Structure 1
Amino acid sequence: MRIQLRELWQALLPGEQFEDTTPFHEAGGSSLALMRLFMRGMKVFGVRLEISQYPQLQSIEQQARYILAARKDGSDA
């Protein structure tokens, strides 16, 4: 899961260095890139990611935890 998320981030933030705990905007992400990330994430993981959730889903770590929980609940969140 984290590997797939990291690949999505790297595709949107080429050449940037970041950890799984780095907030997206601190890694060089813009609001447009964030929208793209969440749209791609929804397609890849089948879980709804809303821009309004960004304060709770800033890092790869937070996003992975959210996606796993949503899948476990059997919902698209």
Structure 2
Amino acid sequence: MNNTNDQIKNCKQEKKKLEEQLLILEGVNELFRKARMNYISLEMAVANQLEDIKAKMFSLDKEIEILETMEDKK
């Protein structure tokens, strides 16, 4: 009988350790999920800035072209 009680006690202790590990890993997993979302947000923000800069450069190139044409006609 004592052996069975020891086995029950050991199983419960092992289960408790596993539950603690599970909670820790779930927390770590959530941190990685949030970090991934932040990374994606930053990546999108940088991509948008790149597109804005390219559009502004294109616009400035066109403006320069127009101004140079006007200057050449003088």
Query: Which one has a larger percent helix, Structure 1 or Structure 2?
Result: 2
TM-score interval (norm. to shorter) = under 0.3
Q: TM-score, normalised by structure 1?
A: 0.24
